[in-house]
Amino acid sequence: MITIVMGSFQSLPDDHQYRTLSQKTGFSLEQIAILHNRFKQLSQNEETLRRDDLKTIQDLESNPIRSQIIEAFFDSRNFQKDVVGSVEEIGFEEFLTVMSYFRAPPQHITEEQREEIRRAKLRFLFNMHDTDNDGTITLEEYRHVVEELLSRSGALGRETAKGIADAAMLEVASISVGPMAPDEFYEGITFEHFLKVCQFVRLYAEAT
């Protein structure tokens, strides 16, 4: 969970704008102010953020899935419905929208709303894996995921990655589809299968 530390209350220049953002994403005004500061810091006071700006963050260097995280920020699916493709630069609104996926769900909401939030978060995760945007995570994409995870381990990781990805895929297939005849072909993990398999991830989704 990303608990945004409450900084000191600063004057909010774009109060009205913040309010609309707050309504849209669910962050509080102070949180938005803090994130806006961070945004300005990263984008060197420009209006839009580019990939290179994110790449300059020191701490991200050692993160194995760094490129995927950065991509997620520029992936249109995450901030606009029914649009695919990636953009070169994003504004603060898009930045905030992506960040809102990691916000804790508010206290007093109905079960359906909670469920919806969970789905949205898992969809975000799914989109991160499904790079070619066909709605399924194919074996290749899954392999890529595992390879990235093990990318810091050199050659050792790359070879095992395939084995691991294959095993994982088999597991998903057997859980989602059950027994398959040898001629059938399992296209890839759809979002529904993803939900089913990643049941434990629901807990995380709750936590994030």
Partner 1 sequence: MSVRKRRIYIDYCGMFILVLGLLVGSLMPLGGAASSPDTGTGHGGSHGNKNPGNGTTYSKKPFPVLSFDYEHVRLPFEISLWVLLASLMKLGFHLIPRVSSIVPESCLLIVVGLLVGGLIKMVGEDPPVLESKIFFFYLLPPIILDAGYFMPIRQFTENLGTILMFAVVGTLWNSFFVGGLLYGVCQLEGHKLAYVDLLSCLLFGSIISAVDPVAVLAVFEEIHINELLHILVFGESLLNDAVTVVLYHLFEEYSSVGSITFMDVFLGIVCFLVVSLGGIVVGAIYGILAAFTSRFTSHTRVIEPLFVFVYSYMAYLSAEVFHLSGIMALIACGAVMRPYVEANISHKSHTTIKYFLKMWSSVSDTLIFIFLGVSTVAGPHQWNWTFVVATVIFCLVARVLGVVGLTFVINKFRIVKLTSKDQFIIAYGGLRGAIAFSLVYLLNPKHFPMRNMFLTAIITVIFFTVFVQGMTIRPLVDLLAVKKKQETKRSINEEIHTQFLDHLLTGIEDICGHYGHHHWKDKLNRFNKKYVKKCLIAGERSKEPQLIAFYHKMEMKQAIELVESGGGAKLPSALPSTVSMQNIQPKKPSQDRALPQLSKAREEEIRKILRTNLQRTRQRLRSYNRHTLIADPYEDGWNEMLLKRKKMKELEKKMNNYLTVPAPPPDSPTITRARLASDPQAWGLKSVTESIPTIKVDLASPQSPESVNVVDEFSKKGSQPKEEEGGLTMKVPSPAKQRKDKTPDEEPQQRLMRCLSDPGPAPEEIQPLRSCSGCALHI
Using CB under 8 A as the binding rule, the residues of this chain from 172 to 191 that contact partner 1 are: 172-175, 177-180, 182, 184-186
Q: Which is nearer to partner 1, 19 or 55 (CB)?
A: 55
Least Cβ distance, residue 169 to partner 1 (angstroms): 5
Min CB(91)–partner 1 separation in Å: 16
Distance in angstroms (rounded) separating the CA atoms of residues 157 and 201: 24
Report the nearest approach of partner 1 to the CB of residue 204 (Å): 5
> Quick count: other Cβ atoms within 10 Å of Cβ 121?
21
Strand partners, 189: 137
Size of the site for partner 1 (CB under 8 A): 71
**Residue 90 near partner 1 by CB under 8 A:** no
Which residue, 18 or 72, has its beta carbon nearer to partner 1?
Answer: 72
For residue 198, give the nearest of 101, 118, 81 by alpha carbon.
Answer: 118
Distance in Å, CB of 174 to partner 1, minimum: 3
Site string for partner 1, 123-162 (x = CB under 8 A): --x--x---------xxx----xx--xx-xxxxxxxxx-x
Which residue in 41, 45, 17 sits closest to 29, CA to CA? 17
120 part of the interface to partner 1, by CB under 8 A: no
Among 6, 83, 84, 167, binds partner 1 (CB under 8 A): 167
Dist. CA 203–CA 183, nearest whole Å: 36
Q: Establish if 6 lies at the interface with partner 1 (CB under 8 A).
A: no
CA angle in degrees (0–180, nearest 5) for 42-45-51: 40
Beta bridge partners of residue 75, listed in sequence order: 86
Interacting positions 32-61 with partner 1 (CB under 8 A): 35, 38, 41-42, 54, 57, 59-60
Residue with Cβ nearer partner 1 (16 or 185): 185
**Shortest distance, CB of residue 79 to partner 1, whole angstroms?**
15
On whether the CB atoms of residues 50 and 40 are closer than 8 A, the answer is no
Where do runs of H (alpha helix) occur along the chain?
15-25, 29-42, 51-55, 66-73, 92-100, 111-129, 139-149, 154-176, 191-197, 199-207
